[in-house]
Amino acid sequence: MNTSEIKKLIMSSLREDANTREVSRRMEEEGISYNFSEKFGDKVLDKLFSAGLTVKREVEFVKYMNFAFYRIALTGVAAIVILLISIFLMQGSLSFNSFLGISDNYDESIVCLLTGN
């Protein structure tokens, strides 16, 4: 098929009443075909399924982090409860001063401690 015939074929595809399937078939016959590289399918699958693996790993990591967080949080709460009980047993109350360990001190003794007089 020479240049002018190809041009005619291209133009014919745009006619409203054109048999577009036939034009497309003839185009292919003339070597006007488009293809991706040989390993195209493998590349797509690699991208998809290796990405899936990363997502899965990320999900597992988050799951482990959540588990670790609960364990740490529970241990922390237990430590706080033990601390509160020990303060109550030692100081006899759970006031702010008991927490700071200054419930037994009077204002004058604190001034003496701070100023050294």
Partner 1 sequence: MIHEPYNVIEENKLVRASLDGDKKAFGEIVNRYQKMVARTVKGMLGDTVFAEDIGQEVFIKLFYSLPEFRGESKLSTYIQKIAVNLTLNEIKRRKRFFSMFTHKANNEMHEFEIADHDIEERKEASEIVNKALLAMDPKFRIIVTMRMLQGYSTKETAEILDLPIGTVLSRLSRAQEQLRNILEKL
Q: Which residues bind partner 1 (CB under 8 A)?
A: 1, 3, 6-7, 10-11, 13-16, 18, 20-25, 27, 30-37, 40-41, 43-45, 47-49
Across 24-99, the runs of DSSP E, i.e. the strands, are none
Are the C-beta atoms of 102 and 110 separated by less than 8 Å? yes
For partner 1, the closer of residues 11 and 62 by Cβ is 11
Nearer to partner 1, 27 or 87 (CB): 27
Of 36 and 106, CB closest to partner 1:
36
What is the 8-class DSSP label of residue 109?
H
Task: Output the CA–CA distances (angstroms, integers) from residue 70 to 25, 59, 67, 87, in the order listed.
Answer: 65, 17, 5, 26
